[in-house]
């Protein structure tokens, strides 16, 4: 009876270790894939969301200033 419990304990320990190794491999694979995707995106010169929003705000402000200047120019031309 004692031998049977020892075998089951050994199998249980082996399975626990195997799961730890599998989890470590999964984590390494995820890290490698994320790193590869980050490098790929950096090589493509994509902009971040923050950069896009900043340029969009500048374009909106320039558009509003152009409209104000056009209205002012139209008013001056009418005189």
Tens-place pLDDT, residues 12-42 = 889 999 998 999 999 999 999 999 998 898 8
Average pLDDT of the chain, as a whole number: 90
**Domain count of the chain?**
2
Q: Residue 4: is its pLDDT beyond 60?
A: yes
Residues 6 or more apart in contact with residue 55 via CB below 8 angstroms: 47
Q: How confident is the model at residue 48 (pLDDT cuts 50, 70, 90)?
A: confident
Residues 59 and 42 in one domain: no
If asked whether residues 10 and 39 sit together in one domain, one would say yes
Domain of 17, in residue numbers: 1-46
Residues 34 and 62 in one domain: no
So what's the pLDDT on residue 68? Answer: 96
Q: Quick one: 40 and 63 in the same domain?
A: no
40 and 78 in a single domain? The answer is no
CA within 13 Å, CB half, 42: 6
- 37 and 58 in a single domain? The answer is no
On the question of pLDDT at 56 being above 70, the answer is yes
- In this prediction the pTM is 0.46
Please check whether residues 1 and 39 belong to one and the same domain. Answer: yes
């Amino acid at each position: 009876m004692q031998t049977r419990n020892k075998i089951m304990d050994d199998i249980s320990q082996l399975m626990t270790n195997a799961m730890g190794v599998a989890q470590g491999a999964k984590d390494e694979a995820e890290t490698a894939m994320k790193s590869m995707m980050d490098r790929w995106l950096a090589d493509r010169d994509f902009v971040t969301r923050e950069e896009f929003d900043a340029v969009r705000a500048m374009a909106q402000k320039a558009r509003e200033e152009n409209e104000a200047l056009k209205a002012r120019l139209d008013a001056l031309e009418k005189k």
